[in-house]
Amino acid sequence: MGTLIVLIVFALFITAILTGGYNKEAIEKFKKSKAWDWLTTVDHKKIGIMYFISGFFFFLIGGIEAIFMRMQLIVPHNDLFVGDTFNQLLTMHGTTMIFLAAMPLLFGLMNAVIPLQIGARDVAFPFLNALGFWLFTAGGLLLNLSWIFGGAPDAGWTSYTTLALNDYSPGPGIDYYVLGLQISGIGTLIGGLNFIVTVINMRAPGMTFLRMPMFTWTSFIASALILFAFPALTVGLLLLMFDRLFGANFFDHAMGGSSVIWEHLFWIFGHPEVYIVILPAFGIMSEVISTFSKKRLFGYTSMVFATVVIGFLGFMVWVHHMFTVGLGPWSNSVFAVATMTIAVPTGIKVFNWLFTMWGGQIRFKTAMLFAVGFIPTFVMGGMTGVMLALPPADFQYQDSYFVVAHFHYVLVGGTVMGIFAGAYYWWPKMFGKMLNETLGKIHFWTFLIGFHLTFFPQHFLGLFGMPRRVFTYQANVGLEQLNMLSTIGTIGMVIGTLAFVFNIVITFKKGAKAPADPWDGRTLEWSISSPAPEYNFAQLPLVRGYDAWFMEKQAGNKEMPAAEPLGSIHMPSPSFIPLLMSIGFFVSGFGFVARGDYSMGILGLIIVFIAMFMRSFDQDHGYHIEPHEIEEANKGVKA
Amino acid sequence: MAAQTEVKANPNMPNHLETATLDGKNKVLGFWLFLGAETVLFACLFGTYLALRNQTMGGPDGQELFDLKLVAAATAILLTSSLTSVLAMMKMNQLNYKAMQLWLGITVLLGASFLGLEIYEFIHYVHEGHTFMSSAFGSSFYALVGTHGAHVTFGIIWISTLMIQAAKRGITKETAPKLFVSSLYWHFIDVVWVFIFSLVYLLGKVG
C-alpha cells in the first residue's frame, strides 16, 4: 500500500514536470533562494561547512546518548535506562561518534582547508565531493531514524555476529545499521578518493610533496586509508545484509558459516578507521603548534615519514582487537609486535611537537591550548594502548572499562581535541568571523577537566572488574565512588560543549570580522581573504618553500608571488544530481529495512540509476569568472 | 563550449587523448584509485569464499558442480573482450570513430555472451541444489561470482551508454577519458575473473 502511494506521487511529479503543470514562478524563486544554492553547491568551502555542521549535530546527539548512559551508571542498580534501551544507547553512541561525528567533522576541516593549503582553486571532483556529503547525510539520517521507526541497533558498534543475526536481533535495528552505514560509507569512500586525487593533481606550481603542510599530508594518508579500508566494511555489511535479509549463511554456524569472518572484515576496516580519525587530528596539532610557537615544525620530514609508517602499520594490526578469539599464539604474537611498533612513529610525532614548542614564542590562544592539552592526554591513551597490545595482559583487560578508558583517551583526547583546535584555528577562514577567546578558554578548561574526571577513573573501574556494555553493577564491590566521579565528570564536558555552542551563536551575531591572517599563519590559506573567495586564488600562487606564506612574509612580501597572469577562472556549475542520487539511496535503504516488500527498495535504486544517467549525459562545462569581476570584488579588501 | 573539446587529426595532437586535459588526468588517476578500492572489495570476498568453500553441509561440492568446459569457454570469451577493448582504445586515440565503435560493440557483445553463460551456469547449479541459501559454500560462492557478474552487467550498460554518447558527440577530449576509464574497468573485471577461474573453479576441481 505504502509503495503504491509512493509510486502514484512519483508519477504525479513526473507528469507535472513534463506537462509544465506547476507554478513556474515559485520554482524560479526557489532556484534563486539560498537553500537551493546550498543544496546544489559543489564548492568545497560550502561543502566543508555543511560537513562540519552536520557532524557537529551528530556529535551533540552522540553526546546526549553518552550522558544518558552515564546517568544510568551513576549509582548501582539504577533503573533509568536498562536492558535493550541501554544497549541501543551504547550502540548508537559508538556508531554515531565514529561514523557521523568524528569523520564528517574532520572531512569538514579537510574540505575547507586542503585546497587552500595546496594553492588549488578547487578539488579534483567537485561533483563527487557533493555526492559524498549527501550520501553521508542520507546514511546518517537513516541510521538515526531507527530511534523512531522500529528501534535502534543494539548489538554494539562492532555489531558482532551471531548476536547481530536475526535469531538474536529480530527487530529492524541492525538492518538500519547495515544499510545506513553502507550508504554513508560509500559517501566517505568517494570523499577520500577525491582528496587523494586533489592532493596529487591539483597542487600549485612549486608545491612539491615535501613542501605540503602537515595537515594536508596527514589527510592525504588518512584518505588513502579510507580508500583501502572502507571496502572491507562494505563487504562485511553486504554479507551481514545477505544473512539478515536474504537468508544467506555467512555467519550462521548451523549452516557452515563462521562468525569470525565478520570480526576479521570488521577490524580490517575498523583498525585503519581509528587512524583515519586520528591522523588528520595529528595534522591539525602540527599546524597549530607550529603557528602558535612561531617556529617551523620540528623534524618535518620525519613527521611525514611517521605519518606514512603509521598509515602502513595501521593495516597490519587488526587482530589485536581479536586476541581472545583464539587464533593461536603465533598470530597473536605477530600482531602484538606490529601493534607495539606503532608506538615508535607516534613517539616521533610527540617529541617533534614538544621540540617545536621548545624555544618558540608560544601564544596560548584557544587552539593552542587544545593542542597542548592534547599531548599528555593522547600519550596516556597511547600508553594504555601499548598495555593492551600485550596478549596475556589483554586477556585480563578485554571487555572491561579499561578498554573504554583507553579508546576514549585516544579518540576524545586525540580526535575531539584536535577537531576543537582545528575549529578555533580555521573558524576565521571558514566563516570570516573570530570565535570569542574567553569563551574558548572556558570551553577548553571545563572540557579538559571534565574529560579526565570522566575517563581517568574508568581505568580503575576496568581493573576492578567492571565489564563494559553492561547497564548496571553490584553495590559494595568497590565500584560506586569511581562511577559517581565518572558521571560527575561529564558535567564538565557538557559545560565545555555548551560554551562552544554559545560561542558559535554570539560569533554569528556579533563576532569581530576576521582579518585575512589573524594568527600570523605560515601556510597558503592565510594568504587570501577570510572567508576565502569562491575561486580561492585569483592567481595561482608560486610556492618557493615549506611554510610558503611565512617565507614570503619573512622576505617582506605582502602577498604570494603569482604563478600565472590574471585570467578568466573556470568554475564548475552547481548540480542537484548528488542530492537526488542520495535521496534515491535513502529511499532504497528505507525500503529494504521494511522487510518482505522490496518494491520501495528497488524504486530507490531506480532513482539512483536515473541520477547516474542524468550525470553521464549531462553536458555541462561550468562557467567563467572574468578578471574584471575579481578586481571589482577585491576593491577595498586589500589592505 | 563544445568547440573547445573537439579534436581533429593533426601532427600536434596529444598521444593520449584521455589525459589531454586536467579533468581527464583527474578522471584517470581517480579511476585507478577506485580500482584499488575494488581490489580490496574482491580480496575480502575471495577471503570469505576460501574460508567457507568446504562448508557444503551435505550439498554438492565444487568437484561435482563445476563444468570446466563451460567455464573455459566463458573465460576465453571474457579475455577476448579485453583484447577488443584495447583495440577500441587504440582506434580512439587514432580518432578512428567507426572502428572504435565497432570494437566497443564487439566488447559489449562478448560481455553479454559471458553473462549469458554465467546465468545458464547459475540456473544449472540451482537445479543441482546449490543455492545462495543452501550452505555457507553456496552463499560465499554466489556472493563472489555474483558480485563479479554484477560488475560485468554494469560494465555492459556503462560501455553501451558511452557508445551512445560517442555517437552523439564524437571522440572529444571529454568523451575520451570516459571511454578510457570504462576500458580500465573492463580490464579489471577480466583480471578478477582470472582469479575466480583459478581460485574458485580450478581449486574447486582439485578439491
In a domain, B21, yes or no: no
Same-domain check for residues A467 and A446:
yes
User: Which residue, among A125, A141, A123, has the nearest Cα to A57 in the 3D structure?
Assistant: A141
In a domain, A590, yes or no: no
In a domain, A75, yes or no: yes
User: Which residue, among A88, A45, A63, A114, has the nearest Cα to A416 in the 3D structure?
Assistant: A63
Q: What are the chain B neighbours of A261 within 8 Å (beta carbons)?
A: 47-48, 51-52
Contact assessment for residue A417 and residue A281, using Cβ atoms and an 8 Å cutoff: yes
**A563/B contact by beta carbon, under 8 A:** no
Same-domain check for residues A27 and A132:
no
Contact assessment for residue A446 and residue A495, using Cβ atoms and an 8 Å cutoff: yes
**What pLDDT is attached to residue A26?**
72
In a domain, A390, yes or no: yes
Range of the domain at B155: 72-207
Element holding A569 (H helix, E strand): strand A569-571
**What pLDDT is attached to residue A34?**
87
The CATH number that applies at residue B194 is 1.20.120.80
In a domain, B180, yes or no: yes
Quick: pLDDT tens for B133-171: 999 999 999 999 999 999 999 999 999 999 999 999 999
Contact assessment for residue B118 and residue B145, using Cβ atoms and an 8 Å cutoff: yes
ipTM over 0.90: yes
CA A111 to CA A195: how far, in whole Å?
Answer: 8
CA A371 to CA B111: how far, in whole Å?
Answer: 56
Phi-psi region of B129 (alpha: psi -120 to 50; beta: other; left: phi over 0): left
Same-domain check for residues A20 and A73:
no
CA A192 to CA A220: how far, in whole Å?
Answer: 8
In a domain, B44, yes or no: no
Same-domain check for residues A78 and A26:
no
**What pLDDT is attached to residue B8?**
63
Grid cell of B39 as nine digits? 581490489
In a domain, A596, yes or no: no
Same-domain check for residues A439 and A372:
yes
Give residues with Cβ within 8 angstroms of A583, minimum separation 6: A138, A607
Handedness of CA A305, A310, A315, A319 (dihedral sign): positive
Contact assessment for residue A316 and residue A227, using Cβ atoms and an 8 Å cutoff: no
Chain Cα centroid distance, residue A415: 9
Element holding A307 (H helix, E strand): helix A300-313
Q: Give the pTM.
A: 0.94
Do A227 and B36 count as a contact with CB atoms less than 8 A apart? yes
Count of domains observed in chain A = 2
In a domain, B54, yes or no: no
Range of the domain at A5: 1-32
**A451/B contact by beta carbon, under 8 A:** no
Q: b or e along B168-200 (b: 16 or more beta carbons within 10 Å of the residue's beta carbon)?
A: eeebbbbbbbbbbbbbbbbebbbebbeebbeeb
User: How open is the CA angle A87-A91-A92, to the nearest 5 degrees?
Assistant: 115
In a domain, B163, yes or no: yes
CA A614 to CA A87: how far, in whole Å?
Answer: 43
- Chain-wide mean pLDDT for chain B? 92
In a domain, A537, yes or no: yes
CA A5 to CA A90: how far, in whole Å?
Answer: 36
Grid cell of B161 as nine digits? 551508454
**What pLDDT is attached to residue A639?**
37
**What pLDDT is attached to residue B102?**
97
In a domain, B8, yes or no: no
**Residue found by looking up cell 509544465 in the block:** A20
Same-domain check for residues A149 and A19:
no
**What pLDDT is attached to residue A637?**
46
Same-domain check for residues A5 and A51:
no
In a domain, B146, yes or no: yes
**What pLDDT is attached to residue A634?**
66
In a domain, A593, yes or no: no
In a domain, B128, yes or no: yes
CA A374 to CA A416: how far, in whole Å?
Answer: 9
In a domain, A501, yes or no: yes
Same-domain check for residues A15 and A130:
no
Please enumerate, as own/partner, the contacts of A437-443 that have beta carbons within 8 Å and a separation of 24 or more: A437/A365, A437/A366, A439/A499, A439/A500, A439/A502, A439/A503, A439/A506, A440/A365, A440/A366, A440/A369, A440/A499, A440/A503, A441/A366, A441/A369, A442/A495, A442/A496, A442/A499, A443/A366, A443/A496, A443/A497, A443/A499, A443/A500, A443/A503
Does B57 score more than 50 pLDDT? yes
**Which amino acid appears at position B153 of this protein?**
T
The CA distance from B42 to the nearest CA of chain A, in Å, is: 9
Q: Which residues of chain A have pLDDT under 50?
A: 636-639
| Test mutation, B140, B148, B156, B157, chain A, max A CBs within 10 A | B140
The CATH number that applies at residue A479 is 1.20.210.10
Count of domains observed in chain B = 1
Identify the contact set of chain B against chain A, taking CB-CB distances under 8 A. Answer: 1-2, 4, 22, 25-26, 29-30, 33-34, 36-38, 40-41, 44-45, 47-48, 51-52, 55-57, 132-133, 135-140, 143, 161-162, 165, 169, 174, 178
Contact assessment for residue A380 and residue A388, using Cβ atoms and an 8 Å cutoff: no
Widest CA span of chain A, in angstroms? 77
Helix or strand or coil: residue A506? helix
Do A230 and B48 count as a contact with CB atoms less than 8 A apart? no
In a domain, A613, yes or no: no
Same-domain check for residues A24 and A165:
no
